[in-house]
Amino acid sequence: MWGKLKWKSIFVVVIAGAAIWYSYPPFDLHDKDGSIVTEGTINLGLDLKGGMHLVLQVDTSSLSPDEAKDAPQRALEVIRNRIDQFGVLEPVIQLQGNDRILVQLPGVTDRARAKDIIGKTAHLEFKLVSDDPELLKKAISGEEVGGYELEYMRTREGKKEPLLLLEKTELTGDMLVDATMEFSQQNFGQPYVSLELDSEGGNIFADITGMNVGKRLAIVLDGEVYTAPVIRERIPSGRAQISGNFSVEDAKDIAIVLRAGALPAPVAIIEERSVGPALGKDSVGKGINAVLIGGAVVLIFMAAYYLIAGAIADFALILNIALITGALAYFGGTLTLPGIAGLVLTIGMAVDANVLIFERIREESRLGKALRAAVSAGYDKAFWTILDANVTTLITALILFQFGTGPVRGFATTLSIGIVASMFTALVATRLILDLLTLGSGGLKKLTMMQFFSQPNIPFVKVRKIAYVASIVVIAVGMFLFVQRGSKNYGIDFTGGTLQQFEFKEAVQTEDVRDMLDSHGMGESSIQQFGEGKGIIVRSLSGKTEEIIAGLKEKFKNVSFEIMRVEAVGPAVGEDLRRAAVKALIFAMIGICFYISFRFEFRFAVTAIIALIHDVLVCLGLLALTGREISLPVVAALLTIVGYSINDTIVLFDRIREDRKFMRKAGQEEIINTSINQTLSRTVLTSLTTLLVVLALFIFGGEVINDFSFVLLVGVLVGTYSSIFIASPLLIDWPRRRSNSKKR
């Protein structure tokens, strides 16, 4: 026996050591002045680190079918080259679907500059300028001048100079070899962009300049005339300059996009999510506080309630967190704000497996078994319940990962790792410790535990029809409110629009913000104020991101503010996300239905799905009642509730199946009521510990995930209720079962 335990001990120690080794330090370590001393091993998502998330759509409508086929891939390579030269560390650039490109830029907070570099087509043209003043006058007056096009060039004084350009393009940027920023010696160090053409382009440029000495040659980039110098002589070097009233940054950016090459087709930004570093830092702090507070409360509760067994569970819980952080570090996973929420939820759910085991050990001890035998029997009987409960939650997490995006995927990743880690710690680590403690004649002989319910016999199934009616009334009222609110139920993730969060140095009045929005034609926007009046969230359907920022700067000239986050979603993306969310919910329920049908019976699966639909509808109704919006994190919370609720239901179903074997002479109602009472202590304990950590998340998690944690809070309560009063009692009222009993 000791030999097996020795090797198991070595295995657990190695796993724990590896997790600590890979995860230390999980986050950046700073010195007194705030500079990073040691970089953290866990990648932080954009919502924690700050940065930008963009989805670009490649417009191939003007291309031939052959050109359109590989245009998105070519556009991706051009954008990748631009971002590499922009100097972003660890960017994410990948195709999404047939014509969309996902771009994530951690640490990039200059939104306008980044969007300008990524979105420029970089179509460079050299065009001759007409020197006929009469033709120019005609064009300015509105007359059509064949073979020419009227353009305007911004001068150093900020004025616009009209130029009449030949429609014919003399030379394009296809022959460009290099573009660099230089400083002019003649114009007091003014920056400009130096262009170098290849040999063929150099010959063409030499011919153009040689044949048009004394004329002006306009350099046009993406339809804008930057400069139009007079050709003094033939230029055989193949070099040219783009000059203008540039800042150093402007000149650098133009050089970057020209060096990286032109996009094969125009791209449009259809989704943008930006988070400022201040909000990211604040989110990290609040998320970690929620984890620490929720975790500490659970540790204290478990130690106080289960005593020695509780201390063992606490060790397993700490090991569980170490395994999750180690896995994230080793596999290069990214921790997002919903990911931290997933970690908090994992803490609550990880307790469930230990509670199941300890309650089983208590039951076996009551039968007069020695502690060692009770431990062995407890683990054996709890194994399949734990496996079934966790597999159903894992199905939900995997489906969420498949259909989710960004932070939602981060949540699904953390939850999936947490489920696997909690099974390992409960079934292997705690079993090892208990086996070691009970080993030999001098081992532990008894596990003393507190108990909320001592063999209760509450007639739950007798009030099932009252519960049915109560649930129907609550759902009906909630759905009435939900339908009445209409599109107001959905956040910009699903309707399209913009969300912007600002932090002002001083408190501002919402009336002033409303006046500014009205003056810019955005009176339909909603305004949310928090943080003693200094925090403002503006939700607009118009998508006028830059106009809102400019309007606030004009309205509050004497009050500085910081842009904390920007979320802009196009209507097409919103529709796609809505379909994906519905698919995720449907597929999660189908997957759960198949698994329960396989492990139990089909009727068990149907009643479980009815209970899940009940939970989702109640949560949606309460969202409508409290005026909250459905966003991607809220969908993640709803799917989590599906997984959590089914976890509770599976435990009850497992006990019902077991009791049917031992209570052959009892009726259906008696068996189900007995099973509910037998698992009541476990149900209350698990719900309580999960509720404690979710409550910590709701109180301390911050504004950004308040709706997310609200849904979890409601879902834990409703999921526990539906397992006891809906899913299990429905087995009694199953039509086929009733008809069979009548025949008998």
Mapping DSSP to helix (H, G, I), strand (E, B) and coil, where does residue 353 land? Answer: helix
Number of domains in the chain: 4
108: left (phi over 0), alpha (psi -120 to 50) or beta: beta
130-145 residue pLDDT tens: 989 899 999 998 888 8
Task: Report the alpha-carbon distance of residue 344 to residue 335 in Å, rounded.
Answer: 13
Per-state percent for the chain, helix, strand, coil, to nearest 5: 60, 15, 25
In this structure, the answer to whether residues 117 and 136 fall within a common structural domain is no
R_g of the chain, CA atoms, integer Å: 33
Residue after which a domain boundary falls, among 243, 275, 307: 275
Q: Is residue 32 part of a domain?
A: no
Task: Report the alpha-carbon distance of residue 343 to residue 351 in Å, rounded.
Answer: 13
In this structure, the answer to whether residues 659 and 734 fall within a common structural domain is yes
Backbone φ and ψ for 515, nearest 5 degrees, come out as: -60, -45
In this structure, the answer to whether residues 481 and 520 fall within a common structural domain is no
What's the CATH number where 97 sits?
3.30.70.3400
Task: Report the alpha-carbon distance of residue 564 to residue 109 in Å, rounded.
Answer: 10
Q: Is residue 5 part of a domain?
A: no
Q: In which band, very low, low, confident or very high, does the pLDDT at 25 lie, cut at 50, 70 and 90?
A: confident
Asked whether residue 741 carries a pLDDT value surpassing 50, the answer given is no
Q: Is residue 10 part of a domain?
A: no
Instruction: List the domain range (segments joined by +) for residue 56.
Output: 51-121+264-275
- Name the residue type at position 140: I
Give the Cα-Cα-Cα angle 650, 581, 714 (nearest 5 degrees): 50
**Spatial contact of 194 and 179, defined as CB atoms under 8 Å apart:** yes
**Spatial contact of 585 and 616, defined as CB atoms under 8 Å apart:** yes
Confidence (pLDDT) at 404: 66
Q: In which band, very low, low, confident or very high, does the pLDDT at 178 lie, cut at 50, 70 and 90?
A: confident
Task: Report the alpha-carbon distance of residue 258 to residue 721 in Å, rounded.
Answer: 62
Confidence (pLDDT) at 379: 92
In this structure, the answer to whether residues 357 and 475 fall within a common structural domain is yes
In this structure, the answer to whether residues 604 and 463 fall within a common structural domain is yes
Residue 286 to residues 70, 439, 712, Cα–Cα distance (Å): 45, 44, 17
**Spatial contact of 602 and 690, defined as CB atoms under 8 Å apart:** no
Residue after which a domain boundary falls, among 520, 546, 569: 569
Task: Report the alpha-carbon distance of residue 83 to residue 87 in Å, rounded.
Answer: 6
Q: For 660-688, what is the mean pLDDT?
A: 88
Mapping DSSP to helix (H, G, I), strand (E, B) and coil, where does residue 55 land? Answer: strand
Instruction: List 171's β-bridge partners, or say none.
Output: 126
Q: Is residue 9 part of a domain?
A: no
Task: Report the alpha-carbon distance of residue 248 to residue 190 in Å, rounded.
Answer: 8
- Whole-prediction pTM value? 0.74
Confidence (pLDDT) at 439: 79
**Spatial contact of 446 and 658, defined as CB atoms under 8 Å apart:** no
**Spatial contact of 392 and 611, defined as CB atoms under 8 Å apart:** no
Confidence (pLDDT) at 34: 66
Residue after which a domain boundary falls, among 275, 302, 320: 275
Q: In which band, very low, low, confident or very high, does the pLDDT at 543 lie, cut at 50, 70 and 90?
A: low
Mapping DSSP to helix (H, G, I), strand (E, B) and coil, where does residue 153 land? Answer: strand
687-739 residue pLDDT tens: 888 888 888 888 887 777 788 889 989 998 999 999 999 999 999 887 654 44
What's the CATH number where 184 sits?
3.30.1360.200
In this structure, the answer to whether residues 535 and 451 fall within a common structural domain is no
Q: Is residue 461 part of a domain?
A: yes
Q: For 29-34, what is the mean pLDDT?
A: 72
Q: Mean pLDDT across the chain, nearest whole number?
A: 84
SS (H, E, C) 203-228: HHHHHHHHHCCCCEEEEEECCEEEEC
Write the DSSP symbol of residue 459. -
Q: Is residue 16 part of a domain?
A: no
Confidence (pLDDT) at 238: 85
Residue 335 to residues 37, 43, 325, 700, Cα–Cα distance (Å): 21, 6, 9, 18
Confidence (pLDDT) at 409: 75
The tokens describing 369, both together, are 């078994």
Share of the chain above pLDDT 70, in %: 94
Asked whether residue 744 carries a pLDDT value surpassing 50, the answer given is no
In this structure, the answer to whether residues 73 and 205 fall within a common structural domain is no
Range with lowest mean pLDDT among 470-474, 494-498, 556-560, 715-719: 494-498
Q: Is residue 492 part of a domain?
A: no
Confidence (pLDDT) at 673: 93
In this structure, the answer to whether residues 223 and 240 fall within a common structural domain is yes
Largest CA distance in the chain: 112
Q: For 143-159, what is the mean pLDDT?
A: 85
In this structure, the answer to whether residues 136 and 79 fall within a common structural domain is no
Mapping DSSP to helix (H, G, I), strand (E, B) and coil, where does residue 125 land? Answer: strand
Task: Report the alpha-carbon distance of residue 130 to residue 117 in Å, rounded.
Answer: 31
Strands 334-335, 43-44: pairing kind:
parallel
Mapping DSSP to helix (H, G, I), strand (E, B) and coil, where does residue 661 land? Answer: helix
Q: For 617-625, what is the mean pLDDT?
A: 94
Asked whether residue 742 carries a pLDDT value surpassing 50, the answer given is no
Task: Report the alpha-carbon distance of residue 415 to residue 371 in Å, rounded.
Answer: 34
Task: Report the alpha-carbon distance of residue 467 to residue 464 in Å, rounded.
Answer: 5
Q: How far apart are the first and last CA of the chain?
A: 52
Q: Where are the alpha helices (DSSP H) in 96-247?
A: 111-119, 133-141, 199-211
What's the CATH number where 690 sits?
1.20.1640.10
Between 70 and 404, residue with greater pLDDT = 70
Q: Which of 55, 19, 49, 22 is nearest to 36 (CA)?
A: 49
The tokens describing 179, both together, are 């573009």
Q: For 348-359, what is the mean pLDDT?
A: 83
Task: Report the alpha-carbon distance of residue 737 to residue 488 in Å, rounded.
Answer: 43
Q: For 96-114, what is the mean pLDDT?
A: 81
Q: Is residue 366 part of a domain?
A: yes
In this structure, the answer to whether residues 562 and 667 fall within a common structural domain is no
Confidence (pLDDT) at 736: 52
Q: For 410-427, what is the mean pLDDT?
A: 86
Range with lowest mean pLDDT among 370-374, 428-432, 434-438, 454-458: 454-458
Asked whether residue 3 carries a pLDDT value surpassing 70, the answer given is no
Q: For 351-366, what is the mean pLDDT?
A: 88
Q: Which of 702, 592, 553, 728 is nearest to 649 (CA)?
A: 728
In this structure, the answer to whether residues 295 and 431 fall within a common structural domain is yes
In this structure, the answer to whether residues 384 and 505 fall within a common structural domain is no
Task: Report the alpha-carbon distance of residue 411 to residue 638 in Å, rounded.
Answer: 12
- Name the residue type at position 45: G
Q: For 207-235, what is the mean pLDDT?
A: 89
